[in-house]
Amino acid sequence: MTTLFISDLHLDPKRPDIHQALLALLAREAEGLEALYLLGDIFEYWIGDDGVQPWQLQLAKVLRQLHDQGCRLYFQHGNRDFLLGEAYAEHCGMQLLAEEQRIDLYGTAVLLMHGDSLCTQDQAYMAFRQQVRQPAWIQQVLSLPLQERIKLAEQMRAQSKMAASNKADDIMDVTPAEVEAALARHQVNILIHGHTHRPQRHPLAEGKERIVLGDWDKQGWLLRVADANPAHWQLEAFAL
């Protein structure tokens, strides 16, 4: 049996190749797949469960079939798709995870995060993040007509890309002290996250490790786990 972790696909109608690559991955991995963890930014943006598009319904159908075959599905919100709600998750057969989720992975305790909350050196983003995660802000946005929400999402996406182009690389990476604090908070030695688009396995002090998932753009990325020994876990890249 195998467990897979993916993140940062940024699914968008403008990139049908990524959508098809995901469907192909699910098809070829379905047999023997025990669990699939989607750790945020699976979608380029999410405007509410009432705004689901046909291609997102198609994906939901595929995920539901995977669920019905016995695969456990988990979704953790990213900074792009944090408005994804219980209705769509239920349609897919996915369980929504907390922002910081401790799991037992074949006997090894692991912390799962999307990763954006670890980038505390980016003070402008952290202030923005605090604003948009407020229940009042979310309620206000979800009350807007669909077309206005789409327009807002496009504006926020454009602003985000412009802001990122003007920031130093180290500012947009995780803060090491935040990683250590998160590991200590949950009493684990391994953290798996995405967000930074910098796939790598980072050994830390005292035998700890930070595993960073890659984004799907020029190639796809996943973490494959089949037992409790992290030395056997495989961070894999593959062609889209």
Please return the burial class of 79, using the count of CB atoms within 10 Å of its CB with bins 0-12, 13-18 and 19+.
Answer: buried
The answer to the question of whether 91 is labelled as a binding residue is no
Residue 215 assigned ligand-binding role: no
For the beta carbon of residue 96, count every other beta carbon within 10 angstroms.
15
Say if residue 122 carries a ligand binding annotation. yes
For residue 49, what are its two tokens?
Answer: 């469960």
- 80 assigned ligand-binding residue: yes
Q: Is 133 annotated as a binding residue?
A: no
What is the dihedral angle through the alpha carbons of 29, 33, 35, 40, rounded to the nearest 10 degrees? 0
Task: Judge whether 195 is annotated as a binding position.
Answer: yes
Annotated ligand binding at 197? The verdict is yes
**Is there a binding annotation on residue 167?**
yes
* Residue 236 DSSP SS3: strand
Residue 161, classed as helix, strand or coil, is helix
Is residue 8 annotated as involved in ligand binding?
yes
CA dist., res. 93 & res. 81, Å (int): 17
| Residue 116 labelled as part of a binding site | no
Among 219, 167, 239, 211, which residue's Cα sits nearest to residue 4?
211
Q: Is 160 annotated as a binding residue?
A: yes
Annotated binding site for substrate: 79-80, 122, 160, 167, 195
Annotated binding site for Mn(2+): 8, 10, 41, 79, 114, 195, 197
Annotated binding site: 8, 10, 41, 79-80, 114, 122, 160, 167, 195, 197
